[in-house]
């Protein structure tokens, strides 16, 4: 299984990369980690006429924290996200989600920007970004713009990025005091795509759940926020009484499909079950002082 | 300088594999695993799926494990690659290979090169991984013969050697 | 043959001779074979499961730079005939489909180009005009009157149907107190070795000679038919073995892969490599495994004795029938399990559909019957309110009853089933797990303890290929294994094997036997593999036969060598052969150890000093021996007795403990005990490796793997993203125990056990999951037990009114 031929560019700067994308429009595909794109190309399921390999743009790999925001360059490898002390300390949900992506060899090449731009509905990072209410920066011929996570994912493998735009940065707020987060997923085997994944970020204030954010993957055409379930948690708290309602709210909100690995019914049911488990875990961590 | 072969452009790359520098001319679409196996004659790295799941093609690139079937050869320009052929020294097996032999950690041998390099990376970071850590580390390397048990034992013993 | 049970080398876990070259990357697999001028092939696969080929235009493909040949099915048919098949029915398969395709993924054209990239580019340029036909997507629709026919020449999709009755089934069922009945579904899976199938064919036009390198087996049976297919004289056709990256039965017959490579080599006059990619392998490997629906009954008495067994089985063979119904002959060797069941009836329907065809996969159909029988036994225990353990004990064949003839006519050579069960229970600490289970149930957690006690037949006889037929086309009865042993000029041992390395340990086995027989260091033995034109007759690995057969062949060659060695030594030492003894690589006069010669001395004489030899001896010191099945008898004409065909009978008991998360359907192993009786063990470490590997495959079959076809005959699990092989995270550590009831029929009392783990694990794991879900009244009747199925069963159970 070998890829079809393509014209290849490996620009050394964002400006050059954008220029190539602009020149070739929809005929070009960005190659970052390649862990999602290359299988599709090897299988000849996609045959881009042009490949723009951005791996030479060294300036796109960084992890910085300042003024309450964690910024990651798009080319930051998922293994770096997983292992970064800065990420683990300030936004542990992102590190935990990253650790669930495939296996280490995949994470050594896969990038945070590439994962988000690919927008696989079963992918963990989009779910985490939704729960974190993060943003991405898209750089195109007309300059930079910021896209909120809620506006980024449009459909399966489809984002709000224009063909000539490159996703260059990811921004997430660092966890406020009293935070607890958890990422849980159910998959057929270790390292597989999630059948259902749940990213939870809670903020504890005294005994209340002051803020709840839930992002799910594997349960629709894109990763989804569970706003109704969040409202229940913020009003009723993380209690044995409230959690069944949370599960029901999740089951109502998701829109999964049947596939060869699991039915829609299964995914709907497990979405509720897993959300409850993830919420409990996040709450326990919030009580332990936030990890 | 791009020239053409059979209608497509080619690139010149320089890559160091197991300590030896090679200069090759490749089509951009040529996979790293095919460069290693067919152009450099290093057939120890195996192809099992070409979609990044089985791990048989695992090599080390600039010190970290990667799937050679999910990289283009041109992406390895300027990099250092280690394949299974780079583990033994002057015909003497690496302690990890010795451990695999001692503990019967291979049967058909097809997954073994990828398994060795994954284990090598694990032990570089942690000399005393427990069973769970080893199983998690090698979960991305499929083996159809051994059922993994002896591989786990071999890696554990090699770490403590 | 050594007649002492105190052995120095047989029974030792020595390091394998095979390993260094595998560890270093030096081993040569099929994709490592390079011939000068070699081209690379790719095939155009049919997108339709059933369609006529109206027109193929290969002109654009041929015009692509780097393409040397493009061959359609019609063009291929001028260079090669249909591929060989071992069935009696006129089910004809061409390596490249000629008029119509019968499964999605069937080859319709093949390209040979300077590299695989360009070959695939050329495939993309081939244009085909199709006439889609109605798809026969399942057994039920295949058997409906008026169903589309997979093979028009057959006139039906029911390619084979027969009932075989052994003993008084009718009267045994009539006098039973209770009939236990289950309907079960065994899923289509496949061996899926990590290395795909491949061949390099090199046709030399002027000498009309074809050499084929291929990771195949069984070329003693298939080389001549393949030569016939490729229209090459059989004595100008040779198959060269290579290292094989796993087979588990799937690479026995690589007829299509070899034929495609051969066709392209004939078309181009150059060597051509055809290597399946992973999609080719999942979709079109011609080696999917059993795909069965069962309606099975066990007739029992109130006090729990088994009387009779009736099995109705329908098997979906896909589009072709290359190995006939061999996988149904296979389990007749042990259809009644380790139990004294007096009669059995099997009604078999083999059906063709628009899917990839079957070959055999580790267990070869017996792993399926093991599951069916164990389910019936456990169901009987439940219905009669008896303990499943006590029920098994009550019906086990007892040690004093061996050799035991089962109703089908096969024999069980030896065994101690109660002993194996006792050890398994003790190792598993069953009482402790039962207490733990009760405690966790009270907490709302579901753990289950499974049990399966199953036979693992070994050393097949080729009669199983054809005895279902009333009039077999080719009733082969040879199941040989030939080996040549040479003692070289310096006394060093070299062995030529006639069948390939698959991941088993043939080199180590022959080295251990030679070490045992001659008192040498096994690490000094050198082993090579002969190509088919030079090889002795050999059926190769499969059916758990090779260790026994190699031992027999090497012992036979050793006998011949020893005879010559003793005659030379007697001559040189001026003694008589009866006064000599061989130990530790030396021949000495009994009681006078200083009057001795090393094997090196004797070898040098044999090779160089003719005038020092007894006059009637030839120069040289080598011997060959072709060992055939140690105990097989022909079937009776009416097939009421199939003869002895698989009598070397190993046995095992597995006790897995699982926890089922009933809300997510995930299954986790808490423990796994496996006790095996494989007769005398040759190399315990190697044996354990086979068992654990087989268990891992059994876990795959029980919980993760399924080849899912939709109603248009499209395979929906056509890559490793969807066809799920267990990883190190899914396979637990296995705690193993062993017993040895030696076989009276084999060298050293060896029994084969290459298939062991997979023959028992699915039954044991299904039993464990059912035990976990017992409080919910759930019965497991289908595999794989996926999370989706568990959640569905649990929710349905909870919704049922109490």
- C-alpha distances in angstroms, A252 versus A227, C586, C589, C649, C792? 11, 83, 91, 56, 19
HSE value, Cβ hemisphere, 13 Å, CA-based, for C784: 29
Which runs of consecutive H residues, i.e. helices, occur in A25-84?
A: 37-42, 78-83
Taking any CB pair shorter than 8 Å as contact, residues of chain B touching chain A are 7-9, 11, 27-29, 31, 34, 50-52, 55, 58, 61, 64-67, 69-72, 74-75, 118, 121, 136-137, 139-140
Neighbours of chain C (3+ CB pairs under 8 A): A, B
A6 to chain B, closest Cα gap in Å: 7
Domains C19-26+480-627 and C292-462+636-799 belong to one CATH topology: yes
- The 10s digit of each residue's pLDDT in A140-172 is 999 999 999 999 999 999 999 999 999 999 999
Please report, for the domain that includes residue A160, its CATH number: 3.30.465.10
Tell me chain B's radius of gyration from C-alpha atoms: 16
Q: Are B148 and B134 contacting, i.e. CB atoms less than 8 angstroms apart?
A: no
Q: Total domain count for chain B?
A: 2
Q: Which of B6, B116, B145 sits opposite C503 (nearest CB)?
A: B145
Among chain A residues, the shortest Cα distance to B136 is held by A190
DSSP for C211-241? EEEES---HHHHHHHHHHHTT--GGGEEEEE
Does residue A224 lie within any of the structural domains?
A: yes
**Maximum Cα–Cα distance across chain B:** 54
Chain C residues whose CB is inside 8 A of the B73 CB are none
CB-defined contacts B:C, below 8 A? 182
Which of these three, B48, B67, B86, is where a domain ends? B86
**How is chain C split into domains, by residue range?**
19-26+480-627, 33-133+195-245+253-284, 292-462+636-799
DSSP string, C511-538: HHHHHHHH---GGG-EEEE--TTTSPSB
* Interchain CB distance below 8 Å, A109 and B9: no
Residues 6 or more apart whose Cβ sits within 8 Å of residue A191: A102, A103, A106, B139, B140, C727, C729
What total of structural domains would you count in chain A? 3
Domain boundary among A131, A157, A173: A173
What sign does the CA torsion over C202, C203, C204, C210 have? positive
Q: Across the strands, what pairs with A201?
A: A181, A213
d(CA C427, CA A230): 50
Residues 6+ apart with CB under 8 A from C718: C279, C282, C283
CATH number for position B33: 3.10.20.30
Span C99-125, mean pLDDT? 98
Give the separation between CA C92 and CA C371, rounded to whole angstroms: 33
Nearest-CB residue to C704 (from A3, A188, A262): A188
Continuous segment of H or E residues that includes residue C348:
strand C343-352
* Structural domain boundaries enclosing B30: 4-86
| Domain-located, residue A73 | yes
Q: Is A4 on the interface with C (CB under 8 A)?
A: yes
Q: For residue A291, is pLDDT > 50?
A: no
In this complex, the residue of C19, C27, C728 whose CB is nearest that of residue B135 is: C728
Q: Which residues contact A138 (CB under 8 A, 6 or more apart)?
A: A144, A145, A146, A147, A161, A162, A165, A166, A167, A168
Chain-wide mean pLDDT for chain C?
97
Task: Please name which of A35, A11, A18 lies closest in space to residue A106, comparing C-alpha atoms.
Answer: A35
- Name the pLDDT band for A25 (thresholds 50, 70, 90): confident
State which of A173, A204, A219 marks the end of a domain: A173
Q: Does A195 touch chain C (CB under 8 A)?
A: yes
> Which chain B residues are closer than 8 Å to C725 by Cβ?
54, 142, 144
Same-domain check for residues A184 and A278? yes
C-alpha to C-alpha distance for A3 and C459, rounded to whole angstroms: 45
* B10 lies in the same domain as B41: yes
Residue C11's CB: how many other CB atoms inside 10 A? 18
Q: Which fold has domain C33-133+195-245+253-284?
A: Aldehyde Oxidoreductase; domain 3 (3.90.1170)
Given this model, what pLDDT does residue C5 score?
74
Over the stretch C4-32, which tens digit does the pLDDT of each residue have? 478 999 999 999 999 999 999 999 999 99
- Tell whether B57 and B104 lie within a shared domain: no
Chain B residue nearest residue C19, CA to CA? B101
Given an 8 Å threshold on Cβ–Cβ distance, is A2 in contact with C117?
A: yes
Residue found by looking up tokens 């390397």 in the block: B141
Q: Which of A39, A102, A188, A273 to mutate to test the interface with C (most CBs of C within 10 A)?
A: A188
C731 pLDDT higher than 60: yes
* Residues A183, A160 within the same domain: no
Q: Do A192 and C724 touch (CB under 8 A)?
A: yes
Q: How high is the pLDDT of residue B2?
A: 57
Residues A252 and A188 both lie in one domain: yes
Q: How confident is the model at residue C567 (pLDDT cuts 50, 70, 90)?
A: very high
**Main-chain phi, psi angles of C461, to 5 degrees:** -105, 145
Contact C447, C437 (CB under 8 A): yes
CA-based nearest residue in chain A for residue B31: A2
- Contact residues, chain C, for A263 at CB < 8 Å: 788, 792
* Residue C1 pLDDT: 39
- Residue labelled with tokens 């028009």: C152
Given a contact cutoff of 8 angstroms between Cβ atoms, the answer to whether C5 and C228 are in contact is no
Q: Are residues B125 and B80 both part of a single domain? A: no
pLDDT tens digits for A32-80? 999 999 999 999 999 999 999 999 999 999 999 999 999 999 999 999 9
Query: Residues of C numbered 733-762 whose beta carbons fall under 8 angstroms of chain B's beta carbons: which are they?
Result: 733-734, 757
**C201 to chain B nearest CA, in Å?**
19
C539-553 burial code (b ≥16 CB/10 A, e <16): bbbbbbbbbbbbbbb
- pLDDT, tens digit, for every residue of C210-244? 999 999 999 999 999 999 999 999 999 999 999 99
From chain B, pick out residues whose CB is under 8 angstroms from the CB of C193. 108, 110, 144
Please report the ipTM that was assigned to this predicted complex.
0.97
Sign of the four-CA dihedral C199, C205, C208, C209:
negative
Query: Is B41 buried (19+), middle (13-18) or exposed (0-12) by CB count in 10 A?
Result: exposed
CB contact under 8 A, A109 and B67: yes
Same domain, residue pair B80 and B112: no
Please list the helix, strand and coil fractions of chain A in percent, rounded to the nearest 5, in that order. 40, 25, 35
- Show Cβ contacts of residue A239 under 8 Å, excluding neighbours closer than 6 positions: none
Residue at A1 is within a domain: no
Chain A from 257 to 286: CB within 8 A of any C CB: 260-263, 265-266, 269-270, 273-274
Which CATH number do you get for residue B137? 1.10.150.120
Question: pLDDT-derived band of residue C70, with 50, 70 and 90 as boundaries?
Answer: very high
Same domain, A44 and A93: no
Domain's final residue, options B55, B86, B117: B86
CATH at residue A21: 3.30.43.10
- The answer to whether the Cβ–Cβ distance between A55 and B11 falls below 8 Å is no
Please report the sign of the dihedral spanned by the C-alpha atoms of residue A239, residue A244, residue A250, residue A256: positive
pLDDT of residue B3: 59
Residues of A within 8 A of B126 (CB-CB) are none
pLDDT attached to residue B67: 98
From the options 3.30.365.10, 3.40.30.10, 3.40.190.10, 3.30.70.260, give the CATH code of C19-26+480-627.
3.30.365.10
B40 to chain C, closest Cα gap in Å: 12
Determine, yes or no, domain membership for A68. Answer: yes
**pLDDT the model gives residue A13:** 98
Chain A contacts of C715, Cβ < 8 Å?
none
pLDDT at B1 over 50: no
A273 to chain C: which residues are within 8 Å by CB? 663-664
Subunits touching A (CB < 8 Å, at least 3 pairs)?
A: B, C
**Is the minimum CB–CB distance between C318 and chain B shorter than 8 Å?**
no
Instruction: Please choose, from the candidates A235, A175, A218, A171, the residue with its C-alpha nearest in 3D space to the C-alpha of residue A200.
Output: A175
| Residue from the list A190, A261, A263 with its beta carbon closest to the beta carbon of C729 | A190
Which pLDDT band holds residue A100 (cuts at 50, 70, 90)? Answer: very high
**Nearest of B64, B123, B141, B35 to residue A109 by alpha carbon:** B64
Calpha distance A224→A230 (Å, rounded): 12
CA distance C440 to chain A (A): 19
Residues 261-280 of C with CB under 8 A from B: 277-278
Q: Choose the closest CB to C787 out of A43, A260, A262.
A: A262
Of the residues B31, B59, B86, the one at which a domain ends: B86
Task: Select from A137, A155, A173 the last residue of a domain.
Answer: A173
C209 backbone dihedrals φ, ψ, rounded to 5°: -115, 135
Q: What pLDDT is recorded for position C3? A: 43
User: How many C-beta atoms lie closer than 10 Å to residue C477's C-beta?
Assistant: 16
Closest CA in chain C for residue B135:
C728
Of A1, A4, A55, Cβ closest to residue B50: A1
What is the mean predicted confidence (pLDDT) over B31-52?
Answer: 98
Strand order in the sheet with B64-67: B20-26, B11-17, B80-82, B58-61, B64-67
Q: Are residues A151 and A234 in the same domain?
A: no
Record: contact C665-A192, CB cut-off 8 A: no
- Asked if C603 has any chain B CB less than 8 Å from its own CB, the reply is no
Mean pLDDT of C367-394: 98
As a whole number of angstroms, the distance between CA C191 and CA C367 comes to 13
Do B121 and B65 belong to one domain? no
Q: Are residues A33 and A80 in the same domain?
A: no
The answer, for C696 touching chain B at a CB cutoff of 8 Å, is yes
Domain check: are A168 and A183 in the same one? no
Tokens representing B88 are 């033994």
Asked if the C-beta of C198 comes within 8 angstroms of chain B's C-beta atoms, the answer is no
Query: Is A255 part of the contact surface with chain B (CB cutoff 8 Å)?
Result: no
pLDDT of C735 over the 60 cut:
yes
Alpha helix stretches (DSSP H) within chain B: 32-34, 95-102, 112-125, 131-138, 149-160
Label residues A253-263 b or e (16+ Cβ within 10 Å = b): bbebeeebbbb
pLDDT by residue (tens digit) across C280-299?
Answer: 999 999 999 999 999 999 99
Residue B70: list chain A partners with CB under 8 A: 34-35, 38-39, 42, 109
B8 and B77 assigned to the same domain = yes
What pLDDT score was predicted for residue C560?
A: 98
Say how far apart CA C299 and CA A100 lie, in whole Å. 51
List CB contacts (< 8 A) between B50 and chain C. 277-278
Contact C124 A4 (CB under 8 A): yes
**Cβ(C245)–Cβ(C187) under 8 Å?**
no
Residues of chain A contacting residue C666, judged by C-beta atoms under 8 Å apart: 186
Q: How does pLDDT run across C403-443, given as a tens digit for each residue? A: 999 999 999 999 999 999 999 999 999 999 999 999 999 99
Does the pLDDT at position A261 exceed 70?
yes
3-state SS track over C240-263: EECECCCCCCCCCCCHHHHHHHHH
Domain interval for residue A45: 7-53
DSSP string computed for C64-87: STTEEEEEEHHHHHHH--PPP---
What Cα–Cα distance (Å) separates residue B60 from each residue in B18, B64, B140, C630, C645?
10, 5, 14, 50, 50
| Inter-chain residue contact B75 with A4, CB threshold 8 Å | no
What are the beta bridge partners of residue C129? C55
- Which residues 6+ apart lie within 8 Å of B56 measured at CB? B45, B46, B47, B48, B49, B110, B111, B113, B114, B141, B142, C194
Asked if C12 has any chain B CB less than 8 Å from its own CB, the reply is no
Q: Residues A137, A83: one domain?
A: yes
Kindly state whether residue A2 falls inside one of the protein's structural domains.
no
* Same domain (yes/no): B80, B8: yes
Residues B76 and B113 in one domain: no
| C292-462+636-799: CATH topology | Aldehyde Oxidoreductase; domain 4 (3.30.365)
A83 and A113 in one domain?
yes
Per-residue model confidence as pLDDT tens digits over C141-158: 999 999 999 999 999 999
**d(C-alpha C187, C-alpha C702), whole Å:** 9
CB B20 within 8 A of CB B80: no
Encode burial over C706-720: b for 16+ CB neighbours within 10 A, e otherwise. Answer: bbebeeebbbebbbb
């Amino acid at each position: 299984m070998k890829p079809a031929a393509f014209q290849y560019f490996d620009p050394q700067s964002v400006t050059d990369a954008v220029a190539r994308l602009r020149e070739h429009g929809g005929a070009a595909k960005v190659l970052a980690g390649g862990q999602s794109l290359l299988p599709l190309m090897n299988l000849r399921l996609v045959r881009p006429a042009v490949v723009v390999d951005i791996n030479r743009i060294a300036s796109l790999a960084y992890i910085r924290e300042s003024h309450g925001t964690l910024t990651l360059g798009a080319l930051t490898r998922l293994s770096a996200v997983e292992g970064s002390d800065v990420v683990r300390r300030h936004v542990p949900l992102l590190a935990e989600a990253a650790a669930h992506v495939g296996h280490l060899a995949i994470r050594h090449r896969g990038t945070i920007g590439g994962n988000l731009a690919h927008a696989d509905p079963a992918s963990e990072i989009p779910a985490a970004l939704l729960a974190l209410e993060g943003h991405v920066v898209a750089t195109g011929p007309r300059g930079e713009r910021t896209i909120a996570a809620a506006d980024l994912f449009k459909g399966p493998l489809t984002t709000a990025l224009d063909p000539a735009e490159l996703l260059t940065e990811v921004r997430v707020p660092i966890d406020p005091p009293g935070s607890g987060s958890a990422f849980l997923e159910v998959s057929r085997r270790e390292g597989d795509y999630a059948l259902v994944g749940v990213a939870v970020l809670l903020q504890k204030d005294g005994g209340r759940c002051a803020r709840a954010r839930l992002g799910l993957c594997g349960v629709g055409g894109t990763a989804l926020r569970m706003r109704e379930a969040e409202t229940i948690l913020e009003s009723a708290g993380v209690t044995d009484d409230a959690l069944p309602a949370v599960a029901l709210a999740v089951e109502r909100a998701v829109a999964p499909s049947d596939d060869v690995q699991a039915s829609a019914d299964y995914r709907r049911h497990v979405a509720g079950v897993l959300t409850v488990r993830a919420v409990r875990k996040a709450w326990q961590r919030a009580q332990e002082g936030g990890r | 300088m791009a020239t053409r072969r059979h209608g497509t452009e080619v690139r010149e790359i320089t890559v160091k594999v197991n300590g030896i520098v090679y200069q090759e001319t490749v089509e951009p679409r040529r996979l790293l695993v095919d460069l290693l196996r067919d152009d450099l004659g290093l057939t120890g790295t195996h192809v099992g799926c070409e979609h990044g799941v089985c791990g048989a093609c695992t090599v080390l690139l600039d010190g970290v494990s990667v799937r050679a079937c999910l990289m283009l050869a041109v992406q390895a320009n300027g990099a250092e690659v280690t394949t299974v052929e780079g583990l033994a020294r002057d015909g003497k097996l690496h302690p990890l290979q010795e451990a695999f032999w001692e503990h019967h950690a291979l049967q058909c041998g097809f997954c073994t090169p990828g398994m060795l390099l994954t284990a090598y990376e694990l032990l570089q970071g942690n000399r005393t991984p427990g069973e769970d850590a080893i199983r998690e580390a090698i979960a991305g390397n499929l083996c159809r013969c051994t059922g993994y048990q002896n591989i786990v034992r071999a890696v554990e013993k090699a770490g403590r050697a | 043959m050594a007649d002492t049970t105190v052995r120095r080398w047989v029974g030792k876990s020595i390091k394998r001779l095979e390993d260094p070259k595998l560890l270093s990357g030096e081993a040569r697999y099929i994709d490592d074979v390079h011939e000068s001028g070699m081209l690379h092939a790719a095939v155009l696969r049919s997108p339709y499961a059933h369609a006529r080929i109206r027109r193929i235009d290969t002109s654009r493909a041929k015009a692509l730079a780097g393409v040397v040949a493009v061959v359609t099915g019609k063009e291929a048919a001028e260079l090669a005939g249909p591929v060989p098949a071992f069935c009696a029915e006129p089910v004809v398969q061409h390596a490249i489909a000629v008029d119509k395709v019968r499964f999605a993924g069937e080859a319709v054209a093949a390209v040979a180009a300077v590299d695989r990239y360009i070959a695939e580019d050329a495939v993309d340029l081939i244009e085909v005009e199709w006439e889609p036909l109605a798809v026969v997507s399942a057994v039920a629709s295949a058997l409906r009157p008026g169903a589309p026919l997979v093979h028009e020449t057959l006139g039906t999709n029911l390619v084979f149907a027969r009932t075989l009755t052994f003993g008084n089934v009718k009267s045994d069922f009539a006098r039973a107190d209770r009939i236990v009945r289950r309907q079960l579904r065994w899923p289509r899976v496949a061996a899926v070795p990590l290395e795909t199938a491949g061949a390099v064919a090199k046709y030399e036009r002027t000498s009309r000679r074809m050499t084929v390198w291929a990771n195949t087996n069984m070329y003693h049976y298939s080389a001549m038919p393949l030569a016939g297919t490729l229209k090459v004289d059989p004595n100008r056709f040779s198959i060269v073995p290579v290292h094989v990256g796993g087979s588990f039965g799937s690479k026995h017959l690589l007829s299509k892969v070899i034929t495609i490579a051969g066709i392209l080599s004939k078309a181009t006059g150059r060597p051509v490599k055809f290597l399946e990619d992973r999609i080719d392998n999942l979709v079109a490997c011609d080696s999917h495994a059993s795909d069965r629906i069962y309606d099975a009954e066990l007739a029992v008495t109130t006090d729990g004795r088994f009387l009779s067994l009736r099995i109705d089985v329908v098997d979906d063979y896909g589009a072709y029938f290359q190995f006939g119904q061999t996988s149904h002959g296979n389990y007749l060797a042990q259809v009644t399990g380790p139990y004294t069941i007096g009669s059995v009836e099997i009604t078999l329907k083999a059906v063709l559909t628009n899917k990839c065809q079957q070959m055999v996969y580790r267990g070869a159909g017996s792993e399926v019957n093991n599951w069916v029988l164990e389910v019936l036994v456990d169901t009987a225990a439940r219905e009669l309110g008896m303990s499943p353990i006590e029920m098994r004990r009550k019906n086990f064949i007892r040690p004093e009853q061996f050799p035991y003839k089962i109703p089908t006519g096969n024999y069980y050579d030896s065994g101690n089933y109660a002993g194996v069960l006792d050890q398994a229970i003790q190792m598993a600490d069953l009482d402790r797990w039962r207490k733990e289970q009760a405690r966790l149930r009270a907490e709302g957690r579901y753990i289950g303890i499974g049990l399966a006690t199953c036979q693992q037949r070994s050393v097949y006889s080729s009669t199983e290929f054809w005895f279902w037929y009333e009039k077999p086309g080719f009733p082969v009865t040879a199941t040989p294994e030939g080996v040549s042993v040479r003692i070289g000029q310096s006394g060093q041992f070299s062995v030529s094997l006639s069948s390939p390395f698959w991941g088993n340990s043939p080199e180590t086995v022959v080295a251990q036997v030679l070490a045992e027989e001659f008192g040498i260091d096994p690490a000094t033995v050198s082993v090579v593999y002969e190509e088919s034109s030079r090889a002795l007759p050999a059926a190769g690995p499969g059916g758990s036969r090779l260790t026994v057969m190699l031992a027999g062949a090497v012992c036979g060659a050793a006998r011949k060598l020893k005879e010559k060695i003793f005659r030379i030594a007697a001559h040189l030492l001026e003694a008589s052969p009866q006064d000599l003894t061989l130990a530790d690589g030396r021949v000495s006069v009994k009681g006078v150890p200083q009057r001795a010669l090393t094997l090196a001395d004797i070898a040098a004489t044999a090779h160089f000093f003719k005038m020092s030899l007894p006059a009637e001896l030839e120069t040289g010191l080598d011997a060959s021996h072709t060992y055939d099945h140690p105990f097989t008898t022909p079937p009776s004409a009416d097939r009421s007795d199939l003869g002895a065909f698989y009598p070397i009978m190993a046995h095992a008991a597995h006790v897995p403990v699982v926890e089922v998360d009933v809300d997510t359907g995930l299954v986790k192993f808490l423990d796994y005990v496996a006790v095996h009786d494989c007769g005398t063990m040759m190399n315990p470490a190697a044996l354990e490796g086979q068992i654990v590997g087989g268990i891992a495959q059994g876990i795959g079959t029980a919980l993760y793997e399924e080849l899912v076809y939709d109603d248009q005959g499209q395979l929906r699990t056509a890559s490793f993203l969807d066809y799920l092989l267990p990883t190190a995270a899914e396979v637990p550590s296995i705690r193993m125990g062993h017993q040895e009831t030696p076989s009276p029929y084999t060298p050293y009392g060896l029994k084969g056990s290459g298939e062991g783990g997979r023959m028992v694990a699915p039954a044991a794991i299904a039993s464990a999951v059912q035990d976990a879900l017992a409080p919910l009244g759930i019965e497991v009747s289908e595999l794989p037990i996926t999370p989706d199925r568990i959640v569905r069963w649990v929710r349905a159970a909870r919704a049922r009114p109490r």
